[in-house]
């Protein structure tokens, strides 16, 4: 029994926000900035596992459009075939999963269900997902004529923009 409790206890301690206060903070760094760095590092690691490519070797963009929006991922190095192929595979899977109402990858990356996903799941038949390969990766275009679906896509993209800190416009 103890052999099962110890891993669970370690998981709880390592994922609980108070766990961040259990170590020494680097000199010259505010507590808030340090917590932000830890959150970003955790997001990148979860993203690497969920997406299958290195987050620091790629650039995400989330573009809000009147009819929905775009998820775009490009490699930073044009000769990085490994990550470019992984990006393409991931976005093809994302389009298929989202069309089927599955949002496991965003949940695995962020550790929570992003806003908009429950409505996108419920309205999946009114949203069209199209994957386009680009020279440096791929993009998924999300389109709908349903106002509720468009609002859900916009909420999802706004969350992604904030979480990934892309600097993309929220509108």
Overall average pLDDT of the 52-65 stretch: 89
145, 159, 43, 50 alpha-carbon torsion, rounded to 10°: -10
pTM of the predicted protein model: 0.72
* Selection from 155, 101, 159 nearest residue 126 by Cα: 101
What residues does each domain of the chain span?
A: 2-164
Instruction: Give Rg (Cα) of the chain.
Output: 18
Confidence category of residue 163, pLDDT binned at 50, 70, 90: confident
Dihedral sign of CA atoms 37, 38, 40, 41 in order: positive
pLDDT in tens, 111-129: 788 999 999 999 999 999 9
Confidence category of residue 1, pLDDT binned at 50, 70, 90: very low
Q: What is the pLDDT of residue 85?
A: 96
pLDDT in tens, 70-114: 999 999 999 999 999 999 999 999 999 999 999 887 767 767 889
Mean pLDDT rounded to a whole number for the chain = 82
Q: What is the pLDDT of residue 117?
A: 95
Contacts 24+ apart (CB under 8 A), 28-36: none
For residue 39, what are its two tokens?
A: 């959150």
């Amino acid at each position: 029994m103890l052999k099962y409790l110890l891993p669970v206890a370690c998981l709880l301690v390592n994922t609980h926000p108070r766990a961040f206060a259990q170590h020494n903070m680097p000199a010259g760094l505010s507590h808030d900035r340090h917590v932000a760095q830890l959150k970003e590092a955790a997001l990148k690691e979860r993203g690497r596992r969920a997406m299958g490519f290195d987050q620091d070797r790629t650039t995400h963009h989330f573009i809000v459009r009147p009819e929905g929006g775009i998820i775009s991922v490009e490699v930073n190095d044009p000769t990085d075939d490994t990550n470019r192929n992984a990006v393409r595979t991931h976005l093809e899977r994302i389009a298929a999963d989202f069309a089927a109402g599955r949002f496991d990858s965003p949940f695995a990356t962020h550790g929570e269900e992003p806003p908009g996903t429950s409505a996108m799941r419920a309205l999946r038949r009114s949203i069209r997902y199209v994957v386009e390969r680009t020279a440096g990766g791929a993009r998924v275009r999300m389109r709908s004529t349903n106002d509720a679906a468009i609002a859900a896509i916009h909420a999802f993209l706004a969350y992604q923009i904030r979480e990934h800190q892309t600097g993309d416009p929220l509108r």
